[in-house]
Amino acid sequence: MQTTLTDSIAIAAQFIRAGEVVAFPTETVYGLGANIFDESAIEKIFLAKGRPSDNPLIAHIGKRADLHLLAREITPMAETFMEHFFPGPLTLVLPKQANISRLATAGLDTIGIRMPRHPVAQSLLQTCGVPLVAPSANLSGKPSPTTWEAVQMDLAGRIACILRGEQAEVGLESTVVDCSRVTPLLLRAGAITLEQLQAVVPTIQIAQPSLSEPQRSPGLKYKHYAPQARVEMVVLPMTFVASDAAAFIGLHPPASNVKHCKLCQTIEEYAHSLFQFFRECDAMEIEVIYCEAVSEAGLGLALMDRIKRAAHG
Ligand code: TXA
Ligand code: MG
């Protein structure tokens, strides 16, 4: 299949209408979108990514009115979160409407919904006129793509179209909160921080992986965000024995020499750069990537979550 690269929202929307899948920029990472009401287009997402069919997709909406097409019930807590954080990098899990394909929700009775704030994503959603289901636009298991070039590297020849934009602002996937239950549960940390969520709904809890409970967020059990290189988390100051093929990313200069080094001024820059750095390291055939540990406060919680997953697979 030939993959069309375009800057035109109209062209991208035409592909969606024709039942194809289109990669597009959002403020978190690039997504791979399909019309939520088109089963065969949804199937193409799973095929293109090599995604296991028990991993549910997030639905993206352009306007609040579309929420009712997707969610059977909007809990008061969900209303509160939406009031404060929509549009933005927050996904809310709610009971789904009966007509939403179980392929999209991987058989679950709930659906994850988010309203991106990225102007290109918003404009694409308005032009298509339907919600789009969109996982991150990477091959399953690879780091999420934060640039259109990263999408191209993973999916060229496998999808119909890539809508080009800038490098994603946040660089980590959205915060996911399960609002389908009495006490909201943080399923995945992201740029809307636990502290921000607690400030508006103090009862929110962090999901603990539990054997007795059915998997709440099936995506979390899969190997994620992993570059080819081995990832190790390091606490500075510490000297690690760096081989010729080592790289480092963090906030402070490491004491050892490394072949490829990325120093970030802030946690935001670290989060913004992490997945792109993983991909650069793979292109340079780096064997081990040292990632500086940071405090698990604010955006640090999401950043540490992604580093730990990349390190332990
Ligand atoms: O920032 C993002 O969320 C990006 C952009 C493209 O919007 N999308 C993204 O999608 O990261 P994906 O498919 O890579 O991750 C979706 C996560 C998975 O961990 C999945 O298990 C969880 O959301 N999820 C989706 N629907 C769910 C549901 N109904 N219940 C529980 N977890 C759900
Ligand atoms: Mg993903």
Q: What is the DSSP string of 163-203?
A: E--PPPSS-SPPEEEE-SSSS-EEEE--SS-HHHHHHH-TT
Is the CB of residue 134 below 6 angstroms from any atom belonging to ligand 1?
yes
Is the CB of residue 188 below 6 angstroms from any atom belonging to ligand 1?
yes
Distance from residue 151's CA to the centre of ligand 1 (Å): 17
Residue 208, exposed/middle/buried by CB under 10 A (0-12, 13-18, 19+)? Answer: exposed
Taking CA atoms only, the protein residue closest to ligand 1 atom 15 is 135
Which of 147, 176, 180 to probe ligand 1 with, by most ligand atoms within 8 A of CB?
A: 176
Closest CA to 259 of 247, 251, 277: 247
Distance from residue 281's CA to the centre of ligand 2 (Å): 20
Cα–Cα distance for residue pair 88/91, rounded to 1 Å: 9
pTM: 0.95
> Chunked in runs of 10, what are the mean pLDDT values of the chain (313 residues)?
97 98 98 98 97 95 96 96 98 97 96 98 98 97 96 98 98 98 95 98 87 54 75 81 86 88 97 97 94 97 95 77
Is the CB of residue 57 below 6 angstroms from any atom belonging to ligand 1?
yes
Taking CA atoms only, the protein residue closest to ligand 1 atom 17 is 219
Cα–Cα distance for residue pair 3/69, rounded to 1 Å: 31
pLDDT at 222: 56
Is the CB of residue 25 below 6 angstroms from any atom belonging to ligand 1?
no
Is the CB of residue 189 below 6 angstroms from any atom belonging to ligand 1?
no
pLDDT at 250: 97
DSSP string, 286-304: -SEEEEE---SSTTHHHHH
Which ligand sits closest to the CA of 29?
A: 1
Cα–Cα distance for residue pair 23/137, rounded to 1 Å: 6
> In this structure, are residues 125 and 142 in contact, taking their beta carbons and an 8 Å threshold?
no
Q: From the centroid of its chain, how far is CA 231?
A: 19
Angle at 263 between CA 229 and CA 257, to 5 degrees: 65
Distance from residue 274's CA to the centre of ligand 2 (Å): 15
Is the CB of residue 110 below 6 angstroms from any atom belonging to ligand 1?
yes
Which ligand sits closest to the CA of 55?
A: 1
Taking CA atoms only, the protein residue closest to ligand 1 atom 10 is 135
> In this structure, are residues 293 and 186 in contact, taking their beta carbons and an 8 Å threshold?
no
Is the CB of residue 217 below 6 angstroms from any atom belonging to ligand 1?
yes
Distance from residue 3's CA to the centre of ligand 2 (Å): 21
Distance from residue 135's CA to the centre of ligand 2 (Å): 6
Largest Cα–Cα separation, the chain: 57
> In this structure, are residues 148 and 23 in contact, taking their beta carbons and an 8 Å threshold?
yes
pLDDT at 293: 96
> In this structure, are residues 244 and 195 in contact, taking their beta carbons and an 8 Å threshold?
no
Residues in contact with 84: Cβ distance below 8 Å, sequence separation at least 6, in sequence order: 196, 200
Burial 6-17 (b: 16+ CB within 10 A, else e): eeebeebbbbbe
